[in-house]
Amino acid sequence: MRFLLLLALTAGSLAYGADDSRLRACAKVPADTERLACYDKLAAEVSSRQTTPSPAAPVGPPREFGLPPAPRPVPEEVVKSVTANVTATHRTASGGVIVDLDNGQRWQQLGSADMGLEVGDTVTISRAMLGSFWLAPPNGRGSKVRRLQ
């Protein structure tokens, strides 16, 4: 126990510039209570000398990580979903579907499951988890999609 206390105080005192000879003097005190009082006194001195760390640079939200600090416009209300009619569908080489909507948007299915989409169907594309999007056709067999246009 005596060794661990001495080791801890030595490491702390060296970090904060305490005199090593005072630690050795405390270690030589034969009576336990007096030796402990000596260590307590040194520990109090060391903790009172601790310097406050320099303030770190302010950190913004994670979505702004890596961007230079600049005035940002106030974000507009976030659109949670879009409903539109299918004007055309195209098959991809991987078996997925590209969907053209009457609002001018084009979305690509990220999987290859058959959604059963037909021209004229009303679909809803909504925000999903982790920045992804979900296309929900009338038959309920939706799929993850990404916007192409």
Domain ranges of the chain: 2-48, 81-147
Q: What does the pLDDT look like over 75-125, one tens digit per residue?
A: 667 788 999 999 999 998 888 999 999 999 999 999 888 898 999 999 999
Structure tokens at 86: 């299918």
Distance CA(112)–CA(91), nearest Å, equals 10
Distance CA(36)–CA(17), nearest Å, equals 20
Sign (positive or negative) of CA dihedral 130, 56, 46, 18: positive
How many other β-carbons are positioned within 10 Å of the β-carbon of residue 1?
Answer: 6
Q: What does the pLDDT look like over 13-37, one tens digit per residue?
A: 444 445 678 888 888 989 988 888 8
What's the predicted TM-score (pTM) here? 0.49
Helices (H), 17-113: 20-27, 32-48
Shortest CA distance to 136 belongs to which of 86, 92, 96? 86
Distance CA(14)–CA(21), nearest Å, equals 11
